[in-house]
Amino acid sequence: METLIPGEARALCRVDEIEDGDAKGFPPAPGGFSGLVAWRDGDAVRVYVNSCPHIGTPLDWLPDRFMSRDRKYIICATHGAAFAPTTGECLLGPCKGDYLDAVKTDIRDGVIYVPADAGL
Protein backbone atom coordinates (compact mmCIF):
# COMPACT_ATOMS: atom_id res chain seq x y z
CA MET A 1 0.00 0.00 0.00
CA GLU A 2 1.31 3.45 -0.89
CA THR A 3 1.70 5.68 2.14
CA LEU A 4 0.00 9.07 2.04
CA ILE A 5 2.43 11.94 2.61
CA PRO A 6 1.84 14.01 5.78
CA GLY A 7 0.38 17.38 4.79
CA GLU A 8 -1.28 15.75 1.78
CA ALA A 9 -3.41 13.59 4.06
CA ARG A 10 -5.97 14.24 6.74
CA ALA A 11 -6.77 12.04 9.69
CA LEU A 12 -10.37 10.87 10.01
CA CYS A 13 -10.32 9.03 13.33
CA ARG A 14 -8.86 6.01 15.06
CA VAL A 15 -10.01 2.64 13.69
CA ASP A 16 -11.36 1.68 17.12
CA GLU A 17 -13.69 4.72 17.08
CA ILE A 18 -15.81 2.90 14.50
CA GLU A 19 -17.68 -0.11 15.84
CA ASP A 20 -16.77 -3.30 14.00
CA GLY A 21 -19.33 -3.87 11.21
CA ASP A 22 -20.59 -0.30 11.39
CA ALA A 23 -19.97 2.96 9.53
CA LYS A 24 -19.20 6.54 10.54
CA GLY A 25 -19.59 9.77 8.60
CA PHE A 26 -17.12 12.64 8.27
CA PRO A 27 -17.67 16.19 7.03
CA PRO A 28 -16.05 17.35 3.79
CA ALA A 29 -12.52 18.75 3.68
CA PRO A 30 -12.43 22.57 3.90
CA GLY A 31 -14.06 23.94 0.76
CA GLY A 32 -15.40 20.49 -0.09
CA PHE A 33 -18.85 19.45 -1.22
CA SER A 34 -19.27 15.84 -0.10
CA GLY A 35 -18.29 14.21 3.13
CA LEU A 36 -16.97 10.70 3.60
CA VAL A 37 -18.21 7.46 5.10
CA ALA A 38 -15.87 4.89 6.63
CA TRP A 39 -16.92 1.27 7.18
CA ARG A 40 -14.96 -1.03 9.46
CA ASP A 41 -14.52 -4.80 9.21
CA GLY A 42 -12.08 -5.86 11.94
CA ASP A 43 -8.78 -4.15 11.19
CA ALA A 44 -9.84 -3.29 7.63
CA VAL A 45 -11.51 0.01 6.79
CA ARG A 46 -13.10 1.09 3.52
CA VAL A 47 -13.80 4.78 2.88
CA TYR A 48 -16.22 6.12 0.29
CA VAL A 49 -17.48 9.54 -0.75
CA ASN A 50 -20.79 10.09 1.05
CA SER A 51 -22.75 10.56 -2.16
CA CYS A 52 -25.17 8.21 -3.89
CA PRO A 53 -24.17 7.58 -7.52
CA HIS A 54 -27.83 7.87 -8.53
CA ILE A 55 -28.48 11.55 -7.74
CA GLY A 56 -25.58 12.64 -5.52
CA THR A 57 -27.42 12.96 -2.22
CA PRO A 58 -25.74 11.99 1.08
CA LEU A 59 -26.26 8.36 2.07
CA ASP A 60 -27.04 8.81 5.78
CA TRP A 61 -30.54 9.69 6.98
CA LEU A 62 -29.22 10.76 10.40
CA PRO A 63 -25.60 11.39 11.41
CA ASP A 64 -23.67 8.10 11.26
CA ARG A 65 -26.77 6.09 10.21
CA PHE A 66 -25.59 4.31 7.09
CA MET A 67 -26.12 0.60 7.68
CA SER A 68 -29.12 -1.66 7.19
CA ARG A 69 -30.56 -3.13 10.39
CA ASP A 70 -28.67 -6.38 9.84
CA ARG A 71 -25.48 -4.39 9.04
CA LYS A 72 -25.03 -6.18 5.71
CA TYR A 73 -25.46 -3.10 3.48
CA ILE A 74 -24.80 0.61 3.32
CA ILE A 75 -28.21 2.10 2.57
CA CYS A 76 -29.01 5.33 0.71
CA ALA A 77 -31.51 7.35 2.71
CA THR A 78 -33.02 8.96 -0.39
CA HIS A 79 -34.30 5.87 -2.20
CA GLY A 80 -33.12 2.81 -0.26
CA ALA A 81 -30.37 1.63 -2.60
CA ALA A 82 -28.26 -1.08 -0.95
CA PHE A 83 -24.47 -1.07 -1.37
CA ALA A 84 -22.00 -3.85 -0.52
CA PRO A 85 -19.72 -2.29 2.11
CA THR A 86 -16.70 -4.31 0.96
CA THR A 87 -16.82 -3.05 -2.63
CA GLY A 88 -19.24 -0.10 -2.76
CA GLU A 89 -21.29 -1.83 -5.47
CA CYS A 90 -24.99 -1.01 -5.60
CA LEU A 91 -26.80 -4.34 -5.38
CA LEU A 92 -30.37 -3.06 -5.19
CA GLY A 93 -32.03 0.18 -6.26
CA PRO A 94 -32.05 2.62 -9.18
CA CYS A 95 -28.25 2.71 -9.41
CA LYS A 96 -27.81 -1.10 -9.44
CA GLY A 97 -24.39 -1.98 -10.86
CA ASP A 98 -22.90 1.45 -10.08
CA TYR A 99 -20.33 1.95 -7.32
CA LEU A 100 -19.72 4.39 -4.51
CA ASP A 101 -16.56 6.41 -5.11
CA ALA A 102 -13.81 4.71 -3.11
CA VAL A 103 -11.22 6.83 -1.31
CA LYS A 104 -7.61 5.78 -0.84
CA THR A 105 -6.81 5.10 2.81
CA ASP A 106 -3.71 4.62 4.88
CA ILE A 107 -3.84 3.31 8.45
CA ARG A 108 -0.89 4.29 10.63
CA ASP A 109 -0.69 3.63 14.35
CA GLY A 110 -4.41 2.85 14.39
CA VAL A 111 -5.41 6.16 12.72
CA ILE A 112 -7.25 6.30 9.37
CA TYR A 113 -5.80 8.81 6.87
CA VAL A 114 -7.25 9.87 3.52
CA PRO A 115 -5.97 12.34 0.89
CA ALA A 116 -6.44 15.94 2.04
CA ASP A 117 -8.72 16.64 -0.93
CA ALA A 118 -10.93 13.53 -0.51
CA GLY A 119 -14.61 14.34 -0.84
CA LEU A 120 -14.17 17.52 -2.86
pLDDT of residue 8: 84
Mean pLDDT of 4-19: 85
Residue 119 φ/ψ region, left for φ over 0, alpha for ψ in the -120 to 50 degree band, beta for the rest: left
| Predicted pLDDT at 1 | 45
Residue 84 lies in a domain: yes
CA distance 76 to 56: 10
Q: What amino acid is encoded at 108 in this protein?
A: R
Question: Does 119 score more than 80 pLDDT?
Answer: no
For residue 61, how far is the Cα from the chain centroid? Answer: 14
Structure confidence by residue, pLDDT tens digits, 36-87 = 999 999 999 999 999 999 998 999 988 999 999 999 999 999 999 999 999 9
Any bridge partners for residue 24, and if so which?
38
Q: Is the pLDDT of residue 99 over 50?
A: yes
Please check whether residue 110 lies inside any domain of the structure.
yes
Q: Which of 17-21, 27-31, 71-75, 113-117 has the lowest mean pLDDT?
A: 27-31
- Give CA–CA dist 28/38, Å, rounded: 13
Total of domains in the chain: 1
Q: Which range marks the domain in which residue 110 is found?
A: 9-114
Neighbouring C-alpha atoms within 13 Å toward the C-beta of 2: 8
For residue 120, being part of any structural domain is answered with: no
Q: Quick check: 2 pLDDT over 60?
A: no
- Phi, psi dihedral angles at 41 (to 5 degrees): -135, 95
pTM listed for this prediction: 0.91
Tell me, what CATH number does 25's domain have? Answer: 2.102.10.10
Residue 1 included in any domain: no
